[in-house]
Amino acid sequence: MQSEASVRVSVDIGGTFTDLHLYDPATNRTLAFKTPSTPSDPSIGLINGLQGIAELAGLSLTDIDLILHGSTIATNAVLERKLPRGALVTTEGFRDVLEIGRHIRRDVYTLSAEDRSLLVPRQWRYGVPERITADGSIYKALDEEALHRIIDNLIEEQIEAVAIVFLHGYRNPVHEQRAAQIINERAPQLSVTTSYLSSPEIREFERTSTTVLNAMLRPVISGYLERLSGRLEKTGIDASLYLVQSNGGLATPDAAARLPAKLLLSGPAGGAMAMAALSKRHAMGNLVGFDMGGTSSDISVVRDGQIGETAESSIDGLPVRLPMIEIRTIGAGGGSIARLESGALRVGPESAGAEPGPVCYQRGGQEPTVTDANAALGRIDAAAFKTGGMELDVHASNHAIDIRIAQPLGYGTGQAASGVLDVATANMAGAIRLSLFEKGADPADFALAPFGGAAGLHACAVAQELGIDKIVFPANASTLSALGILQADLRYDLSESLLMPASIESVSALAKAVSGLNQQAIELLVENGFDDTQRRIEFSCDMRYRGQAFELSTPWPQIEGDTVVSSEDLQQLVDNFHTLHEERFAHASPDDAAEIVTVRAVGVGLLGKTDSAEPIEPEPITPVAGISITETNRHRKLYLHDQEHSVPCILRDDLRRGADPLTGPLIIEESYTVLLLETGWTVRVIDNGDLLCERSGEIK
C-alpha cells in the first residue's frame, strides 16, 4: 500500500492515444501527458508515456512509486475477437444455455431469429453428469470418469481456456472445485475459470456468459501483464501497479489476472469518476459526461450527485454479470470512418484507430474520418496540433473526403465534411438521449461535460441537438479519464445469492450472509496492507417484488461498518427499495411482498486522496479585465454551417477567473484539444480552471 506522499502516475490506454497524469507531492501539482497508443503491444505506449511524463516533470523513472493503470485492452480483445480457443464444461443437458439465452427479441417484427454472439462453438461445449440442487445439496455426484474423457478432447482440440459452470454452483461450489482440480492436474497448460469465483450469482445464462468471457480473457490479460512487468523492470521502474476495474476501483495485478472480466470498462470508468468529482465541485447534481476519444465515445450520467452503477451489463451482445459503472459506449470518435452505404452517409462504428489513423496523420490511412472532416473545415490548426508531436496534412484530408464522399454525392468538399460532422453529432446525441430517457430523465435538466481529445469540437452542436443550455468544459479535458483514475481506491466486490423474502423470518439468514461477506472483505483488505483506519465496507441488496424478473440494486448504508442486522435494519432496506422503485419506474407497491435476491458487499482500501489531483488555480484569484478577442492577432478561417468565418483563436491559459464572458464564434486552444464555441454561446472561467459555456441565443 502506498501513502498519499507517493509520486503517482495514472495511465489510460485508449485505442488511439495513451493519456497520463502525474501527481508529485513535492510540488503539490499534477501534470498531463499524451502519447500515441501502440495497439500491437499497449505496454510499449505505456512505457513511452511514463518516460515522457517523467522527463516533463523533471523526475527520474525511479521516483515513480505508484502506477494506476486503466485500459481498453480487455474490451478490444472481445470486440475484435482476439481471444484464445476456449471451451465450456457444464452440467449435462445445459451446454446450449449460451445459445438459448433469454427469449428477448430486439426486433419484434423480424421473421428470423437474431444472430447470437457466441464465443464457444457447440463442439467445444461439454456436459458432465452431476447435479447440485437449488438449496446447495448434492443430488448427483460428479462423474469424474466422464470428465477425464472431456479432458482428452480438450487436449486433442488444443483448447487454451476452459470455463466451468455447473448448475447452482453459486450455492455449493464443491463440484466446480473438484473439476478444476482434476483439469489442472491433467492439463496444467489450460487456463481454468470457475463460475463460483468469477460470478457467484443466480441466473445460469448470465453466469455462464460471464465465466466464459473471464476464462478467455485470462490468457490475454496475463500475457499483457507479464510483458508489462518485464518492460517496467527493464526500464528500471520499481513502482506498485494497480489496474482499474469496471466498478471504478483498483485491483492488484494478481486479482486482475484471475478476474479480467472486471476490466471490461476499465478506461471509461476513470472518466465517470472524474464526472462525479466535477458534479460535486460545481454543485451540479445532474451532469452528462461525454468522452469522445479517437476510437469511441463513452457516456456516463451523474444524477442527483451520484454516478450510476449496475450489477449487469453487456459487451457486444455478451452479458456480463459483474458490478460496474453505468457507461454507454458507441463507435463515434475522432477516428470513426465516414463512408457511403447504398448512397447514404455513415460514420462509424469502424475506426482508423492509432494505426493507420486518420488520413491527416500521414500514417497510411486512406479512409476519411471525423478528424479529417474537422481538419478540412479548419477547426483544427495543423501547425499547432501538438498531440504526439505530429503535424496534420489537411490537403490529404480534403482529397480523401472529396474522392470518397463529395464527388459521389455531387457535393463540395466543405459540404461533405460538414455532413460527416452532422451524422457524427446525431449519433452521439442519440446515445446520450437514450441514456437519459431510459432513466426517465429530460436532457434539458442536465449540463453537458465534454472531455476526451475530440469532444470540445462537437460539444455545442451535441448540446443544441439535445436541448441542453449549459456545458462545463473541464480543465485537462483530453486526459480527464486519467485524472479520474488518479483518485481511485482499491476495491473488492463480493456477493452471495440467497433468494428469500424480505421479512422478519429472514433476518437470521441475512445477518449470516452480511457477516460472512464482511469477514471476506476484511481479510482481502488486510492481505493488501489496509488497517481498520484505511478501509471501508459498504452493503447493498438486489431486490424485487415477488413475481418480477429483474432486480434493483438497493443501497443499505444503515449497516455500514456494523454487521449486526436487526429487524429495524431490514425494514429500512425495504423502505429504501420502495423509494428507489418509485424513483426509477414512477410507481411503488409498499403493500406487496419484496424479495432479496443477492446480498452485496464492497470492500474499499483507501489509498489516500490528494486534494491537488486536479489543476490548481493560480493564486490570488482576482477579477481581471476581459480579453479583447480583437487584440489576439490570431484568427482562423473555418467553416460553420456551410459558411466560411474568420474566427478569433485564444489560448486557454489566457483565460482567468473573474474575466468578462466571451462570446462565440471562438476557438479556445490548449495542448491536447480544442474547444469550438459556436455562435449563441458564451464562456467564462469558473472554479478549478474549468470553463462554463451557456447558450445565450439561437445557434445559427
Output the pLDDT for position 36.
Answer: 85
| Residue 529 CB-half CA count within 13 A | 7
Residue 147 located in a structural domain: yes
H or E segment to which residue 585 belongs:
helix 567-585
Residue 191 located in a structural domain: yes
What residues does 13 pair with on adjacent strands? 18, 71
Q: What integer is the mean pLDDT of 621-634?
A: 43
Residue 151 has pLDDT above 60, yes or no: yes
What confidence tens digit (pLDDT) does each residue in 483-507 have?
889 888 999 999 999 899 999 999 9
Output the pLDDT for position 609.
Answer: 61
What confidence tens digit (pLDDT) does each residue in 205-231 have?
999 999 999 999 999 999 999 999 999
Q: pLDDT band for position 99 (50/70/90)? A: confident
Asked whether residue 192 falls in the same domain as residue 104, the answer is yes
Q: What percent of the chain has pLDDT over 70?
A: 92
Asked whether residue 510 falls in the same domain as residue 597, the answer is yes
Asked whether residue 72 falls in the same domain as residue 128, the answer is no
Asked whether residue 499 falls in the same domain as residue 590, the answer is yes
Output the pLDDT for position 700.
Answer: 42
Q: Cβ(163)–Cβ(153) under 8 Å?
A: no
Output the pLDDT for position 672.
Answer: 73
How many structural domains is the chain composed of?
A: 3
Asked whether residue 24 falls in the same domain as residue 91, the answer is no
Question: Is 696 or 31 the better-scoring residue by pLDDT?
Answer: 31
What confidence tens digit (pLDDT) does each residue in 317-356 have?
788 999 888 888 777 788 889 999 888 899 888 888 767 8
Residue 432 located in a structural domain: no
Q: pLDDT band for position 387 (50/70/90)? A: very low
Q: What integer is the mean pLDDT of 672-692?
A: 88
Residue 543 has pLDDT above 60, yes or no: yes
Q: Which amino acid is at 180?
A: A
Asked whether residue 113 falls in the same domain as residue 160, the answer is yes
Query: In which region does residue 134 sit, left (phi positive, over 0), alpha (psi from -120 to 50) or beta (all else)?
Result: alpha
Residue 435 has pLDDT above 50, yes or no: yes
Residue 406 located in a structural domain: no
Asked whether residue 206 falls in the same domain as residue 228, the answer is no
Residue 51 located in a structural domain: yes
Q: How many CB atoms lie within 10 A of CB 677?
A: 24
Q: How far is CA 167 from CA 80, 222, 275, 365, 600, in A?
A: 30, 28, 40, 49, 21
Residue 530 sits in a domain of what CATH number?
3.30.1490
Average of per-residue pLDDT values in the chain:
86
Residue 122, Cβ density class (10 Å: 0-12 exposed, 13-18 middle, ≥19 buried): exposed
Residue-wise DSSP of 5-52: TS-EEEEEE-SSEEEEEEEETTTTEEEEEEEE--TT-HHHHHHHHHHH
Contacts of 660 (CB under 8 A, 6+ apart): 625, 626, 684
The bridge status of strand 318-320 relative to strand 324-325 is: unpaired
List the domain range (segments joined by +) for residue 175.
86-219
Residue 46 sits in a domain of what CATH number?
3.30.420.40
Q: How many CB atoms lie within 10 A of CB 306?
A: 12
Asked whether residue 58 falls in the same domain as residue 141, the answer is no
Output the pLDDT for position 260.
Answer: 94
Q: pLDDT band for position 619 (50/70/90)? A: very low
Query: Last residue of some domain: 236, 263, 290?
Result: 263
Q: pLDDT band for position 140 (50/70/90)? A: very high
Residue 516, Cβ density class (10 Å: 0-12 exposed, 13-18 middle, ≥19 buried): middle
* Integer Cα distance of 537 and 520 in angstroms: 11
Q: Cβ(360)–Cβ(383) under 8 Å?
A: no
Q: Cβ(363)–Cβ(388) under 8 Å?
A: no
Residue 473 located in a structural domain: no
Q: What integer is the mean pLDDT of 97-104?
A: 83
Contacts of 326 (CB under 8 A, 6+ apart): 300, 301, 307, 308, 309, 310, 313
Residue 575 located in a structural domain: yes
Output the pLDDT for position 45.
Answer: 92
Query: Last residue of some domain: 571, 605, 639?
Result: 605
Asked whether residue 73 falls in the same domain as residue 189, the answer is no
* Integer Cα distance of 153 and 124 in angstroms: 9
Contacts of 220 (CB under 8 A, 6+ apart): 73, 74, 77, 82, 83, 84, 260
Asked whether residue 183 falls in the same domain as residue 93, the answer is yes
Q: What is the 3-state secondary structure (H, E, C) of 624-682?
A: CCCCCHHHCCCEEEEEECCEEEEEEEEEHHHCCCCCCCEECCEEEECCCCEEEECCCEE
Asked whether residue 96 falls in the same domain as residue 214, the answer is yes
Q: Cβ(295)–Cβ(333) under 8 Å?
A: yes
What residues does 492 pair with on adjacent strands? 603
Asked whether residue 146 falls in the same domain as residue 74, the answer is no
Contacts of 125 (CB under 8 A, 6+ apart): 87, 88, 90, 95, 96, 98
Output the pLDDT for position 699.
Answer: 44
What confidence tens digit (pLDDT) does each residue in 28-76 have?
888 889 888 888 889 999 999 999 999 998 999 999 999 999 988 888 8
Query: Last residue of some domain: 230, 263, 296?
Result: 263
Residue 467 located in a structural domain: no
